[in-house]
């Protein structure tokens, strides 16, 4: 019967195996020789995997990938498909970056079938598609850059990657205008997703992993855009902390220690309050969650009797960094309070702690790690949640433990 033959066919497929019999050894990886990029990927490129590198136009995606392609091509062959720029333009950029590797092949092509053909012919270890939004499949009626084209082209390339073990890196533009289908559409198709953060007006770039089927997702890579391309930042230390001279910091400025992956980053939180048009107080926030700032303002009003309803409140994390963890709450609250009273905090003051709705200061993960780093970088005093009996020795840094917001504010 047909049914038997059908079972026969189906039996050719994969067999279920006991989970204990599956080889769970670490997946092999090709190092990109760019340490910060390896860190984001969880140690390097996994053969046959698909990686999406997203970010706003002009943020440095092509620069990073050309540098990575150059570094990887010291050991093996790389195909760099440029669908936006001509091969000549890519060459100009490469010359500027001092890249001249004979193993780095450049293909200016937008037709996905021809790209697949060339990949099969060249058999590189890694293919870079810069960008995925500019390539198209001729037999689809949809326009290049549309959702259908994006998804189909991406699927074809990922399928090839899985079959051959060639790794594919896609570049995807995040655009606000929405004329191009965004890279979010293909996030579920690829194995690893990393996004560029920062803005074009600062030289620092953070590359953050948001999805990784082969590793942890909380790592970030730090780079600085220079005249010779992206330079790795190995010791971020006080990168995002302004050095105020003799006069000390202005009111509304405080330092906090944020965890970025496994690293501690010291960042400066700034706040400004100004009297507002009656009934239309604005809250403008960048680098932290505006919902969170709204909550902190409410706690300041209710638990510390600070009148902010008639004030515009601006909160900013200096240097274009984003901090999402609640550990920044106390620093935000103190920055707003310092701005409101127009009293600066002493130079080199660190604040770390989560704020509860009752005005209580809660502990945060890895507090000791944060404090050690701040101490290493020479900060003199820290306002921290109550630590009980477990108080680390921190060289020259003095700790001020607080249980409630009002307690932290009374010392301002
Ligand atoms: P690019 O990598 O082209 O951005 P994307 O591919 O994300 O659109 O980077 C563009 C910006 O980087 C551009 O404004 C010029 C600047 N840049 C440098 O400052 N130094 C360099 O060495 C290079 C190659 C670019
Ligand atoms: Mg580009």
Residue ID of nearest Cα to ligand 1 atom 15: 58
More confident residue, 406 or 13: 406
User: Model's pTM, two decimal places?
Assistant: 0.82
Q: With a 6 A CB cut-off, is 133 part of the ligand 1 pocket?
A: no
Q: What's the pLDDT band for 4 if we cut at 50, 70, 90?
A: very low
Give per-residue pLDDT as tens, 159-217. Answer: 999 999 999 999 999 877 656 678 888 999 999 999 988 777 778 888 989 999 988 77
Q: With a 6 A CB cut-off, is 201 part of the ligand 1 pocket?
A: no
- Give the SS3 label for residue 292: helix
CA dist 160 → 48, 141, 172, 266 (Å): 8, 23, 19, 43
- Cα distance between residue 77 and residue 126, in whole Å: 7
For the CA of 66, the nearest atom of ligand 1: 2
Q: How far is the CA of 261 from the centre of ligand 2 (A)?
A: 26
Return the axis-axis angle of helices 290-304 and 329-341, rounded to nearest 10°.
Answer: 60
Q: With a 6 A CB cut-off, is 372 part of the ligand 1 pocket?
A: no
Q: What's the pLDDT band for 9 if we cut at 50, 70, 90?
A: low
Assess contact for 208 and 258: CB atoms under 8 A: no
- Cα distance between residue 322 and residue 237, in whole Å: 16
Q: With a 6 A CB cut-off, is 95 part of the ligand 1 pocket?
A: no
What average pLDDT score do residues 123-147 get? 93
Which residues fall within 8 angstroms of residue 246, CB to CB, at 6 or more apart? Answer: none
Other residues' Cβ atoms within 10 Å of the Cβ of residue 377: 18
- Cα distance between residue 2 and residue 381, in whole Å: 79
Strand partners, 54: 172, 195
Give per-residue pLDDT as tens, 345-381. Answer: 988 899 999 999 999 999 999 999 999 989 888 888 9
Q: Residue 2: what pLDDT? A: 42
Q: With a 6 A CB cut-off, is 227 part of the ligand 1 pocket?
A: yes
**Tokens 């033959």, located at residue:** 5
Q: How far is the CA of 64 from the centre of ligand 1 (A)?
A: 9
Strand partners, 385: 402
Q: How far is the CA of 286 from the centre of ligand 2 (A)?
A: 26
Q: Does residue 10 carry a pLDDT above 70?
A: no
Q: With a 6 A CB cut-off, is 92 part of the ligand 1 pocket?
A: no
Categorise residue 236: left if φ over 0, alpha if ψ from -120 to 50, beta otherwise: alpha
Give per-residue pLDDT as tens, 272-321. Answer: 999 887 778 899 999 999 999 999 999 999 999 999 989 999 999 987 78
């Amino acid at each position: 019967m047909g049914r038997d033959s059908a079972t026969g066919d189906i039996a050719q497929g994969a067999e279920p195996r006991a989970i204990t019999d599956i080889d769970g050894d670490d997946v092999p990886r090709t190092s990109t020789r760019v340490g910060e990029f390896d860190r984001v990927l969880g140690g390097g490129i996994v053969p046959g995997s698909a990686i999406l590198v997203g970010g706003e136009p002009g943020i440095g995606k092509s620069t990073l990938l050309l540098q990575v392609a150059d570094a990887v091509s010291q050991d093996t062959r790389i195909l760099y498909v440029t669908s936006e720029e001509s091969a000549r333009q890519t060459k100009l950029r490469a010359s500027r970056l001092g890249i001249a590797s004979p193993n780095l092949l450049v293909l200016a092509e937008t037709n996905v079938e021809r790209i697949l053909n060339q990949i099969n012919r060249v058999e590189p270890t890694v293919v870079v598609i810069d960008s995925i939004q500019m390539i198209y499949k001729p037999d689809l009626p949809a326009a290049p850059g549309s959702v259908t084209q994006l998804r189909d082209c991406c699927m074809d390339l990922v399928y090839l990657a899985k079959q051959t073990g060639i790794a594919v890196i896609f570049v995807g533009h995040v655009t606000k205008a929405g004329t191009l289908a965004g890279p979010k559409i293909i996030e579920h198709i690829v194995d690893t997703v990393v996004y560029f953060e920062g803005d074009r007006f600062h030289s620092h770039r953070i590359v953050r992993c948001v999805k990784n089927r082969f590793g942890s997702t909380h790592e970030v890579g730090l780079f600085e855009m220079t005249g010779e391309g992206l330079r790795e930042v190995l010791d971020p230390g006080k990168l995002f902390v302004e050095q105020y001279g003799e006069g000390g910091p202005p009111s509304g400025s405080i330092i906090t220690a944020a965890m970025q992956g496994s690293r501690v980053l010291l960042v400066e939180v700034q706040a400004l309050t100004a009297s507002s048009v009656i009934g239309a107080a604005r809250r403008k926030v960048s680098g932290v969650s505006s919902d969170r700032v709204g909550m902190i303002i409410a706690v300041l009003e209710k638990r510390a009797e600070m009148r902010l309803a008639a004030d515009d409140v601006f909160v900013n994390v200096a240097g274009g960094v984003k901090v999402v963890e609640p550990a920044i709450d106390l620093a935000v609250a103190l920055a707003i309070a310092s701005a409101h009273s127009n009293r600066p905090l002493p130079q080199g003051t660190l604040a770390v702690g989560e704020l509860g709705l009752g005005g209580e200061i809660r502990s945060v993960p890895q507090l000791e790690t944060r404090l050690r780093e701040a101490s290493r970088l020479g900060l003199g005093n820290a306002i921290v949640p109550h630590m009980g009996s477990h108080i680390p020795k921190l060289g020259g840094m003095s700790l001020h433990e607080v249980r409630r917001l009002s307690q932290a504010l009374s010392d301002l």
